[in-house]
Amino acid sequence: MPAIRTTRLPAGIDVPVLGQGTWHMGEDKRRPADEVAALRLGLDLGLSLIDTAEMYASGGAEEVVREAIAGRRDEVFLVSKVLPSNASRQRTIAACEASLKRLGTDRIDLYLLHWRGGVPLAETVEAFETLQAAGKIGHWGVSNFDTDDMRELAGVPSGAGVQTNQVLYNLESRGIEFDLLSASQRAGIPVMAYSPIGQGGFVSDDRLAAIARRHGVSTTQVALAWVLRHEGVIAIPKAVRPEHIRANRAAADLRLTAADLAELDAVFPPPRRKTPLEMI
């Protein structure tokens, strides 16, 4: 199996374009062993980027990740997020310390502001820079930022240190293609796509199924390959069942044709005007 393609962060670090999400992990106390096994299988398959957040299961997802990466920390590019309610200077530092404890590690490779709140961006960035200087985070980024937010961020002290913007992006939610995606690509800031195969609705579309049949794959694999077709886009699907994890990994090697992409544009049209950034 070929190695997973990588993309480069502005800091010069290469990360895989396909990782593992953990949203909703840690919520069911009967399932942690399955979730830990899923993440470890993903690591075995080269899905070394793991995304989590203090919000997910109120820290429970980070605890699942701790078990999954035990003894394998150096294999993992670890991403976590701070809530906007914790985004003041002191609270960001305290939240990071709490995440480090739950994760059982001394560093988070990429620490994101989960979405914008009432704290001035300059204050949050200052906290990120303090954490980075202390070696507690490698780099920092943002999530759920629209084009204007990214422009404002670029204007604050040290705002140019942003490494990624994690946003909703899938066949059914293409709003970022109007301006945010191209602006990010021009700036060399990768976009990290959460929910890249949606919530399970659009993948049952018959026309999507026809494309999948042509390639001998599932509709979710087509949807994931579609997200990964761009340079500078990282996808972080969440999966627990082993067959889904293996299918996700295989999707990274699927190349859609120009005809496939044209058909998908007809079924799931690209945006024709600016719309508010979608969030779930």
Query: Residue 243 corresponds to which tokens in the numbers above?
Result: 């067959």
194 is annotated as an active-site residue = no
Burial grade of 257 (CB within 10 A; 0-12, 13-18, 19 or more): exposed
Q: Is 230 annotated as a binding residue?
A: no
What are the residues whose beta carbons fall under 8 Å from the beta carbon of 53, sequence distance 6 or more? 22, 23, 61, 62, 80, 81, 83, 112, 114
Farthest CA pair distance, the chain: 54
**Which run of H or E residues covers position 65?**
helix 60-69
**In this structure, what are the phi and psi dihedrals at residue 152, rounded to the nearest 5 degrees?**
-65, -40
Burial grade of 215 (CB within 10 A; 0-12, 13-18, 19 or more): middle
Q: Which of 56, 111, 169, 194 is catalytic?
A: 56
Query: Binding site: what residues are annotated?
Result: 114
Query: Binding site for substrate: what residues are annotated?
Result: 114
Give the residue numbers annotated as catalytic, written as ranges. Answer: 56
